[in-house]
Amino acid sequence: MVLNKMILAGVITIAGIGLAAAEPVTVAMEYLDALEASDLDAAEKLFHPQSSIFEGGSQEGSWKDYREHHLGPEIDSVKQFAITRGEAISGQSDDGSLAFVAIPIEYLIELESGDKFDSSGMVTFVLSKVDGVHKIRHLHWSSSRKR
């Protein structure tokens, strides 16, 4: 009986760790889903107000800056945005207040003009827990066109 309780406790502990670790990955995947759907409002809900975004070797500013000056103006010209995701790599601080998620990606962007961008790269997220919910504090999108 004691052995069964110990095994059950071990399973609950392992399951608990898995669930806690999955939340930041879920937030990262929701961001990629929002991009594919051209839903910038859904993406915005995932960001902390004090965020930073780096893309293509440049600092894009906060989510608000990135949305207003980069994604927002471009999103209307996107006909299709398809992202293939590799296996996420993630980790958290001991107290769970900070987390990172790195996802290898391949993506195809097709513009209304017919131009296509077939690229691969890595998206890295740093998330902080605010009121029990992980929010994106930093996003780094690094990619290059496939040859």
At residue 77, does pLDDT exceed 70? yes
Tell me the mean pLDDT in the region 11-30.
Answer: 61
Spell out a b/e string for 48-68, using b for 16 or more CB atoms within 10 Å of the CB, else e: beebbbbbeeeebbebeebbe
pLDDT digits (tens, 9 = 90+) for 91-101: 999 999 999 99
At residue 1, does pLDDT exceed 60? no
Alpha-carbon span 61 to 45, nearest angstrom: 17
In this prediction the pTM is 0.82
CB 30 within 8 A of CB 41: no
pLDDT of the residue at 18: 40
DSSP-derived 3-state class of residue 95: coil
DSSP string spanning 26-92?
A: HHHHHHHHHHHTT-HHHHHTTEEEEEEEEETTEEEESHHHHIIIIIHHHHTTEEEEEEEE---EEEE
Fold of 2-145: Nuclear Transport Factor 2; Chain: A, (3.10.450)
